[in-house]
């Protein structure tokens, strides 16, 4: 099968087309014939060797999001899916096991039906970023009516966090640059404040006691904590757990822990079909142009996801 990966770490030019064996299907697994795979920030880290196990041997195939059709179902797989069903899957990449490939095997709990009425590119953008946002909100565990702040609200994880928080009945305070304000408003934010170092102070101007929790999707770090009430929680996509002054706790999350949360992934599918989640695609490129996709990713400023087509 054709795959895209690296044998030597480096920039976008390190990506190359690979000819790899079609993966076998083990007990409890499902093999997906991939039609589209999303390009995410972690893919760039894998390409550069910054998110690869020290003992892992090349080639390394990135990719955590896939859409396609069920090609084969392993013995004993707990699923109601059938061969030929159109599905989305979250993939935990390791070695040659990644979504940038014509076929990928995943645990049955990592794959659900694709949202009806979506393109393959749109559907591929949902699993990893949607589950990351879901994990962030589950970590905060706020009841309806509470206030949450989201940084990086125009980005993939931040955008899903805003939409899911609204679906959970939360009051959302988001950040946005001038060119992103309309987008973030459409995502459902109740209050939109300018991006930058004064964000936390501006949150306090609107909510003097602070928000109950904060999702730091932009990885701004400690400058966000003044926005949070005493003994509140900050969820970080990067960094270490920490306790700050006023009893504020920073909790880091890693989406790998939700990679087999089938019910949560299927709930995201349902919310997409119900119109609660907007799937944003920036550009679709053939898999052979993965280098160009990573150049765009590394340049930053992308709104929506870059998607590779197989």
Q: Do residues 36 and 72 touch, judged by C-beta distance below 8 A?
A: no
**CA pair distance 122, 109, nearest whole angstrom:** 21
List, in order, residues 6 or more apart from 10 with CB less than 8 Å away.
47, 48
For residue 263, being part of any structural domain is answered with no
Domain boundaries, position 34 = 2-126+279-309
What's the pLDDT score for residue 54? 83
For residue 244, being part of any structural domain is answered with yes
**CA pair distance 306, 309, nearest whole angstrom:** 10
What's the pLDDT score for residue 243? 87
Asked if 164 and 182 sit in the same domain, the reply is yes
**CA pair distance 167, 115, nearest whole angstrom:** 18
Q: Give the number of domains in the chain.
A: 2
Q: What are phi and psi of 105, to 5 degrees?
A: -105, 140
For residue 42, being part of any structural domain is answered with yes
pLDDT tens, per residue, the chain with 310 residues: 999 999 999 999 999 999 999 999 999 999 999 999 999 999 999 999 999 988 888 999 999 999 999 999 999 999 999 999 999 999 999 999 999 999 999 999 999 999 999 999 999 999 999 999 999 999 999 999 999 999 999 999 999 999 999 999 999 999 999 999 999 999 999 999 998 889 999 999 999 999 999 999 999 999 999 999 999 999 999 877 888 899 999 999 999 999 999 999 999 999 999 999 999 999 999 999 999 999 999 998 888 999 999 9
Q: Do residues 89 and 269 touch, judged by C-beta distance below 8 A?
A: no
**CA pair distance 234, 150, nearest whole angstrom:** 10
Phi/psi zone of residue 165: left (φ > 0), alpha (ψ -120 to 50 degrees), beta? alpha
For residue 261, being part of any structural domain is answered with no
**CA pair distance 119, 279, nearest whole angstrom:** 10
List, in order, residues 6 or more apart from 170 with CB less than 8 Å away.
142, 144, 145, 146, 147, 148
Asked if 194 and 86 sit in the same domain, the reply is no
CA triple 254-267-280, angle to 5 deg? 75
Asked if 118 and 133 sit in the same domain, the reply is no
What's the pLDDT score for residue 212? 98
Asked if 216 and 297 sit in the same domain, the reply is no
Q: How far is CA 135 from CA 9, 17, 195, 272, in A?
A: 30, 33, 24, 17
What's the pLDDT score for residue 238? 86
Q: What CATH number is given to the structural domain containing 48?
A: 3.90.180.10
Asked if 166 and 252 sit in the same domain, the reply is yes
């Amino acid at each position: 099968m054709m795959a895209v990966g690296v044998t030597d770490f480096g920039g976008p030019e390190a990506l190359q087309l690979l000819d790899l064996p079609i993966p076998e299907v083990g007990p409890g697994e499902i093999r997906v014939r991939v039609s589209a795979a999303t390009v995410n920030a972690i893919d760039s880290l894998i390409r550069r060797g910054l998110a690869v196990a020290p003992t892992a041997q090349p080639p390394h195939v990135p990719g955590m999001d896939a859409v396609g059709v069920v090609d084969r179902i392993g013995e004993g797989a707990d699923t109601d899916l059938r061969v030929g069903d159109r599905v989305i899957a979250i993939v935990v990449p390791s070695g040659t096991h990644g979504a940038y490939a014509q076929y990928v095997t995943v645990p049955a709990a990592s794959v659900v039906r694709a949202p009806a009425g979506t393109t393959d590119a749109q559907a591929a953008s949902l699993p990893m970023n949607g589950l990351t946002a879901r994990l962030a909100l589950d970590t905060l565990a706020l009841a309806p009516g509470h206030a949450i702040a989201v940084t990086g609200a125009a980005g993939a994880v931040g955008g899903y966090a805003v939409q899911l928080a609204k679906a959970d009945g939360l009051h959302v305070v988001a950040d946005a640059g001038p060119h992103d304000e309309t987008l973030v408003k459409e995502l459902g934010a109740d209050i939109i404040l300018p991006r930058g170092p004064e964000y936390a102070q501006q949150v306090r101007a609107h909510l003097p006691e602070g928000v109950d929790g904060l999702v730091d999707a932009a990885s701004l770090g400690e400058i966000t904590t003044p926005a949070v009430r005493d003994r509140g929680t900050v969820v970080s996509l990067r960094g270490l757990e920490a306790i700050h002054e006023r009893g504020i706790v920073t909790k880091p999350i890693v989406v790998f822990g939700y990679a087999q949360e089938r019910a949560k992934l299927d709930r995201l599918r349902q919310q997409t079909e119900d119109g609660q989640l907007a799937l944003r695609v920036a550009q679709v490129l053939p898999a052979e142009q993965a280098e160009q996709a990573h150049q765009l990713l590394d340049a930053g400023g992308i709104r929506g996801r870059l998607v590779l087509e197989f």
